[in-house]
A and B are shown apart, each in its own frame.
Chain A
Amino acid sequence: MSEKAAVVTVQGLRKYYRNIKAVDGIDFEIREGEIFGIVGPNGAGKTTTVECIEGLRVPDAGKISVLNLDPQKDKNQLKRQIGIQLQEGRLPDRLKVREAIDLFDSFYGIPSNHKKILDELGLSEKADSYYENLSGGQKQRLVVALSLLGNPKIVFFDELSTGLDPQARRSIWDTVRSIRNSGKTVVLVTHFMDEAEFLCDRVAVIDYGKLLALDSPSNLIKSVFKSAMKISFTSEQEFDFAQMMNGKLGQVQRDGNTITVYCTSDASIVDIVSFLMNSGIIFDHISVDKLSLEDVFLSLTGRKVRD
């Protein structure tokens, strides 16, 4: 795949709230037509970063260019060319679906085809329902519909699938893909690793306001782990497995009775099992898993719980 032109360029972005460094020097590019993911723990600086790009927040330092516009100086021009879904943004309870689309469409000079938008997002049957009577998935689809009005070139989604049931998540994922397939660039902020892995062409991992890694999900996995495999088993015995293995077969992590080996590239399940048998270790519940973006994420950001 040839590299497309950058539609968003971020250089040295900084944003401090009092003494908290929400964004502490971030650089990246978003390319035309990709689904670009921004992942990170709560409070990592994801939303601040995208809101600076959208022109909703004023950065303290750094340069941002979106579609060759400055989000602060050319705010009004930019708003015509991007679509935004806000994290936890709601509409008035008694506004109907049809009315919300009519209202938000009126801000853009050229009227959109409302019926087509309702159809595409599966909202036709709900067109006359109040916002408060929609399900979580329908609310999110409506918000997506609003962000597509005015035919934007870049669409920003911030925690689009939070709080949705599995069916609604899948359906919103399909929607995101079809938006990309219609030629738009999608920026997706999420803390669901499966979502980022499934949807995104490239993922930026952010923590403590810094960019930790940026690549496609599969390259991220390869860069952090030597092979794409982990082997877990349980054992009642207390032993220092890491020391016994001496780093030969891979990195070891112990969590209660569960031991996980992140294998090196040439280690196989046979090697692990024979090692266990030769060492006389009694083990149970052995499983082999493909490494996921979540493993990368946890290895980059640590396991400590954040609030």
Chain B
Amino acid sequence: MNKGFFKLMEYEFKLFLREPIAAFFTFVFPVFFLFLTMEVFIGRPVVEVATATGIMEIRVINYVLPNFMLMIIATIAFMSLPIITVEYRQTRFFKRLRANPVSSSTILAALGIVYFIITFCGILLLTLLALTVYEASFEGNMLLFILSFAYSYSAMAAIGFGLLGSLIRSSRSAVAIGEIIFFPAMFFSGLFVPIDQLPEWLRPISEFIPITHAARLMQGMWLGEPIGDFLREIIILAGVILLCVFVAVKKFRWE
């Protein structure tokens, strides 16, 4: 691997842990929020749903958990990534790094991978709680699930880094825009409220929110549904990645 790659990851990780708010929203808040959802908002571990074939019992946690995983991905992708990108550009830290014999791709790869690992840690913590306390059951293929997680992360990170990181100029607006995107994305994608409980006129909006498709894909993989059923989601997310990479190539500035 390129020189400096692991040191960049090591110190980026330390810097992340030293920023208490970001670390709180990635590691502590989702766990707390999952607890709150299960104990207060829903209150029962199993709900009965009427389907075409009769009444079906579903374990709530198996639907809630993938959504919460996406909440962590969204926190990292829409908040952390654009903020550090804009900040490193504004303070000329990017420029300072690039004045050394280290390639741009090494810097980008180190940032992208370290935030993937951070996201993964947050998700692992959450999953442990879900498995031990709420008896979540994983019914899918572990490899496919991890791939679907990595794919969803890539698409959201492409938005956060490629799109937001390229277009936003000041760190103050990075914080604001991150929030403006984060909350509607949570509400209208079925993460906080199931889509069929949204007012009817709002439902089509969810189709235009990339995270909706990531949520469907990850939920399907968690429940062990065949991957072939999710080609549409996979293609839409690929389109998102391509679009963001295109914008980044055109618009991204190191300084």
Question: Residues of A with Cβ closer than 8 Å to B?
Answer: 54, 56, 76, 79-80, 84, 86, 88-92, 94-95, 99, 102-104, 106-109, 146, 150
Residue of B nearest to A146 (CB): B96
A-B contact pairs, 29 of them (CB 8 A): A54-B99, A56-B95, A79-B100, A86-B96, A89-B91, A89-B96, A90-B92, A90-B93, A91-B91, A91-B93, A92-B15, A94-B14, A94-B18, A94-B19, A95-B11, A99-B11, A102-B7, A102-B11, A103-B7, A104-B100, A106-B3, A106-B6, A106-B8, A107-B3, A107-B100, A107-B102, A108-B101, A146-B96, A150-B100
Residue of B nearest to A99 (CB): B11
Assembly CA distance A84 to B95 (angstroms):
10
Q: Mark B82-116, 1 if CB is under 8 A from A, else 0.
A: 00000010011101101111110000000000000
Assembly CA distance A108 to B99 (angstroms):
12
Q: How distant is A52 from chain B, measured CB to nearest CB, in Å?
A: 13
Known: A95-B15, A103-B11. A90 touches B91 (CB 8 A): yes
B95: A residues at CB distance < 8 A: 56, 86, 89
Assembly CA distance A135 to B11 (angstroms):
22
Name the residue in B3, B88, B99, B103 with the highest tally of chain A Cβ atoms < 10 Å from its Cβ. Answer: B99
Chain A interface SS verdict (over half): loop
Cβ-defined contact, B91 with A107, below 8 A: no
**B184 in the interface, Cβ–Cβ < 8 Å?**
no
Name the residue in A54, A94, A106, A109 with the highest tally of chain B Cβ atoms < 10 Å from its Cβ. Answer: A106
Q: How distant is A151 from chain B, measured CB to nearest CB, in Å?
A: 13
Residue of B nearest to A106 (CB): B7
B92: A residues at CB distance < 8 A: 86, 88-90
**B4 in the interface, Cβ–Cβ < 8 Å?**
yes
B6: A residues at CB distance < 8 A: 106
Assembly CA distance A86 to B254 (angstroms):
14
Known: A86-B96, A92-B93. A107 touches B15 (CB 8 A): no
Give the contacting residue for B99; candidates A84, A88, A91; CB below 8 A.
Answer: A84
Tally of chain B residues near chain A (CB < 8 A)? 22
Cβ-defined contact, A109 with B3, below 8 A: yes
Cβ-defined contact, B101 with A107, below 8 A: yes
Cβ-defined contact, B14 with A99, below 8 A: yes
Q: How distant is A260 from chain B, measured CB to nearest CB, in Å?
A: 41
Name the interface residues of B1-34: CB closer than 8 Å to any CB of A. 3-4, 6-8, 11, 14-15, 18-19
A109: B residues at CB distance < 8 A: 3
Q: How distant is B3 from chain A, measured CB to nearest CB, in Å?
A: 6
Q: How distant is B103 from chain A, measured CB to nearest CB, in Å?
A: 8
Cβ-defined contact, B101 with A80, below 8 A: yes
Residue of B nearest to A78 (CB): B101
Assembly CA distance A107 to B8 (angstroms):
10
Residue of B nearest to A104 (CB): B100
Cβ-defined contact, A91 with B96, below 8 A: yes
Give the contacting residue for A79; candidates B15, B88, B101; CB below 8 A.
Answer: B101
Assembly CA distance A94 to B18 (angstroms):
7
Name the interface residues of B46-79: CB closer than 8 Å to any CB of A. none
Closest 7 CB pairs of A and B: A106-B7, A90-B91, A94-B18, A89-B92, A84-B99, A107-B100, A79-B101
Assembly CA distance A88 to B96 (angstroms):
10
Q: How distant is A60 from chain B, measured CB to nearest CB, in Å?
A: 18
Give the contacting residue for A150; candidates B15, B93, B98, B101; CB below 8 A.
Answer: B101
Name the residue in B11, B15, B88, B95 with the highest tally of chain A Cβ atoms < 10 Å from its Cβ. Answer: B11
Assembly CA distance A103 to B7 (angstroms):
6
Q: How distant is B20 from chain A, measured CB to nearest CB, in Å?
A: 10
A89: B residues at CB distance < 8 A: 91-93, 95-96
Assembly CA distance A92 to B91 (angstroms):
8
Give the contacting residue for A106; candidates B4, B15, B93; CB below 8 A.
Answer: B4
B91: A residues at CB distance < 8 A: 89-92
Assembly CA distance A108 to B7 (angstroms):
12
Assembly CA distance A39 to B88 (angstroms):
28
Assembly CA distance A215 to B91 (angstroms):
35
Residue of A nearest to B5 (CB): A106
Assembly CA distance A70 to B89 (angstroms):
26
Q: How distant is B232 from chain A, measured CB to nearest CB, in Å?
A: 41
A94: B residues at CB distance < 8 A: 14-15, 18-19
Residue of A nearest to B103 (CB): A76
B100: A residues at CB distance < 8 A: 79, 104, 107-108, 150
Residue of A nearest to B14 (CB): A99
Assembly CA distance A146 to B103 (angstroms):
17
Residue of B nearest to A75 (CB): B101
Cβ-defined contact, B96 with A103, below 8 A: no
B93: A residues at CB distance < 8 A: 89-92
Known: A91-B93, A94-B15, A99-B14. A86 touches B99 (CB 8 A): yes
B11: A residues at CB distance < 8 A: 95, 99, 102-103
